[in-house]
Chains A and B, each alone.
Chain A
Amino acid sequence: MMPRQPTRFLCTVPIPTDCVSDLADERKRSLWIPKTFLDSGEVFLHSGGIRMHLDTCLAQIGNNKQDVTGAISTPIYHSTTYRHPRLGESTGFDYTRTKNPTRQTLEDAIATLECGVRGFAYGSGMAAIAGVLGLFGQGDHLLVSHDLYGGTYRLLEQILPRQGITTTFVNTEDLTEVAAARQENTRAIFIETPTNPTMRITDLREVIGWAKGHALITIVDNTFMTPYLQRPLTLGADVVVHSATKYLGGHNDVLAGVAVAREEELAERIYFLQNSIGATLGPQDAWLLMRGMKTLALRMERHQQNAQALAEWLDGHPLVKKVYYPGLAAHRGREVHISQAEGYGGMLSFELVSERLVEPLLRHLDLIAFAESLGGVESLITYPARQTHFDVPEEIRNSLGVTDSLLRLSVGIEHDRDLIEDLARAFEASEREIAEQEGELV
């Protein structure tokens, strides 16, 4: 595999909280505000007082050199409670829901990687999203990207309205449409870019700039890109959320969510909610997640190499009507995407020429597993209409392009030729089967 190329711009020079704890608040804040966007240069993060590339930062997660044992891997603290040295004194740890050393190592790492001030780990991606949306209350209104993850849609459509929080789903590709949907009581905008599953691109700089003008909180779900490829906080977003189950964990073996805030004040409010609601991530899972994150850079490089190869192959296949992948020259929003991200990621969707192909194709795939979720080392194929977007009404789904013949592919890190052969075989077998039963397909 090719080593990672120097990235296009120096996005920011973030310094983790522990390095700046002795600085005045004002100065601390200014350090975190994105400053320079140059034409050349590399992304540097500062962790533990050392300037390092993002890849290095990832590999070094949890390598706590101050620990008494010298263990390279951060220990799993299963303890729920902590002895107080004496009344009124605390080691900084009191109760695991409030703060746990293993979880904190993870939370610090994700905060550094996303260039925020503070990270938060939750029991799932939905718990992270629900935890952040806890910032809002009765009478508040939210603007949300319209073809977003079905679970977020369900929360916004079926549950939050009962608490008096309303949502307008808008096409965040188009700022005019976003601006038109703003109401007096709009408090925030929630963006996915690229969206799930049709990979629509939102111009983060433009939308965030507009949101700031109206004092709206901007929340970006960065699950598809990860901080390796896209760091929305450096573009001015207020909060980033992740289903860390996906690329951050990367092995389809841990369910987790994370959130990162750009500024202290909001971070404090999110922390209050995390502790009050208690949807925190357990220490074993926090440890597994850090273990996965150490290889994020390597995995993402391979994921997107493979995704590019598969997208190009699918694009030329007669049984495929349309391929959604930002790495394809014809993909709408590609230029915007690459101005705010450093790669195209490992997710693609494709629409088949006929819905009849869906069932046999899924059955004939040997290597690519038919399962929900994404972002793991193994390739997974999903049928959004029946799985991730099942809760979205059919007419809305169709208008978003999430049709009954759309499949989403999370491209793994297998050899790309093997993945293409698996798809080619399954396409052939499906076409033959349908032809035998019903005559000509196309």
Chain B
Amino acid sequence: MKENQELSFATRLLHTGNEIDRTTGASAVPIYQASTFHQEDVDQAQPYEYARSGNPTREALERTIATLEGGTRGFAFASGMAAISTALLLFSAGDHLIATDDIYGGTFRILTTVLNRLGIETTFVDVTDLENIRAAIRPNTKGLLLETPSNPLLQITDLAGAAKLAKEHGLLTIVDNTFQTPYLQRPLDHGIDVVVHSATKFLGGHSDVVAGLAVTKDQALGQRLKQLQNSFGAVLGPQDCFLLQRGIKTLKVRMDASCDGAELVARWLANRAEVAKVYYPGLAAHKGHGVHLEQSSRSGAVLSFDLGTEEQAKRLMRAVKLPLVAVSLGGVESILSYPATMSHSGMPKEERHKRGISDGLLRLSVGLEDPEDIIADLEQALQNG
């Protein structure tokens, strides 16, 4: 058999080396609902001691995500925000960070209301132009926090270019890879230091588990993150680890179907007179389309579209029948969100508008329904709404 890294992604998803329980041969890793582990010998360290520092169910998941992202070490957290918060604690008072300006509202909130109190300052810039990053670098700049495509405007950042620039200035790079998943995009391959995920989204995929993941490639950095994970203790419980591992098994087939659907819906929306603008990296007219396809194999399952006014957006949300009108994304069900009051409610209105997240903007996470049914539903909603 070929070495694991040479297998295709679809196969690697199911054969990570962690799929079989070593003790019993069980096809699914058991849920070790144990908080502590018997120590055979006081002088002999064992792999498991206390579930916060290591649990076999969580470890199987952590190894899986490390393998899939092409890293050496994975970490599972109680939520995407717990993963991001813990990774951000790699920084210290006096440090300065640069972040994508239309970053997820929850990340914006932690940067501007919590980390600032700890003496860590953030400058938000339009990172689609690397020159903006360069211009924002200060003597105390220590980190660069990116999302590509960004949320919710799907703006594209050149990962390899950003990683190179960061290395020149000794910055640690963190990329939120939630929208793409390692199936479509592997930031570590482009020189990024830390990948974080809200695994609640596409990795879990079923809107039934809140979880976060982080992956590092560098051993020393992995050790530092491990110390923070263990010290802060925002770890994922074994039942949730099991559910997430279970969701990851179907990541490829789900992403394929959702990407197919998103491409069709995006093209259809782009031709509608009611729609002022469609944001989707798969459209040739989307800014950064070319860069995106160099670093990612497909355009993903999330798109946003602007109906011009708050009133139009609200009308559509009232009229749709198929998608859940809810926060979150990446589930088997299509989810329609209103960034202004949902994902980006943590961001003040003027900051939101400055970033182009207008009051007419809607975000659609395309699920596994037949794309024709989604389009028909949107059509009736645009007409009747």
- Chain A residues in the interface with B (C-beta under 8 A): 78-84, 86-88, 94-97, 122-127, 129-130, 134, 137-138, 151, 154-155, 158-159, 162-165, 245, 249, 252-257, 272-273, 276-282, 284-285, 288, 358-359, 362-363, 369-373, 376, 380, 383, 386-387
Which 9 A-B pairs rank lowest in CB-CB distance, beginning with the nearest?
A278-B81, A126-B233, A137-B117, A279-B234, A284-B239, A124-B233, A278-B79, A163-B118, A373-B36
* B interface: dominant SS: loop
Contact with A along B57-87 (1 / 0, CB 8 A): 0000000000000000000011111101100
Chain A residues near B133 (CB-CB < 8 A): none
Given contacts A80-B210, A276-B114, contact A154 B33 (CB under 8 A): no
**Is there contact, CB below 8 Å, between A255 and B118?**
no
Given contacts A94-B327, A124-B234, contact A79 B240 (CB under 8 A): no
Partner of A358, one of B42, B79, B208, B317: B42
Closest to B81 in A: A278
Task: Give CA–CA (A373, B38) in the complex, Å.
Answer: 10
24 contacts between A and B (CB under 8 A): A80-B208, A81-B207, A81-B335, A87-B325, A95-B328, A122-B233, A124-B233, A126-B233, A138-B118, A151-B52, A151-B231, A158-B231, A163-B89, A255-B52, A276-B113, A277-B110, A278-B79, A279-B78, A279-B232, A281-B237, A282-B236, A282-B237, A282-B239, A363-B41
**Is there contact, CB below 8 Å, between B234 and A284?**
no
**Is there contact, CB below 8 Å, between A97 and B49?**
no
Partner of B233, one of A96, A127, A371: A127
Chain A residues near B324 (CB-CB < 8 A): 81, 83
Task: Give CA–CA (A254, B114) in the complex, Å.
Answer: 29
Partner of A159, one of B43, B231, B326: B231
Given contacts A79-B208, A277-B81, A288-B33, contact A123 B41 (CB under 8 A): no
**Is there contact, CB below 8 Å, between B85 and A278?**
yes
* A interface: dominant SS: loop
Task: Give CA–CA (A252, B318) in the complex, Å.
Answer: 48
**Is there contact, CB below 8 Å, between B231 and A138?**
no
Task: Give CA–CA (A383, B42) in the complex, Å.
Answer: 8
Closest to A162 in B: B92
Distance (whole angstroms) from the CB of B15 to the closest CB of chain A = 27
Task: Give CA–CA (A239, B207) in the complex, Å.
Answer: 33
Partner of B318, one of A81, A87, A257, A285: A87
Max chain A Cβ within 10 angstroms of own Cβ: one of B78, B89, B110? B78
CB within 8 Å of A: which of B71-111?
77-82, 84-85, 89, 92-93, 106, 109-110
**Is there contact, CB below 8 Å, between A254 and B42?**
no
CB within 8 Å of A: which of B316-333?
317-318, 324-328, 331
Closest to B116 in A: A137
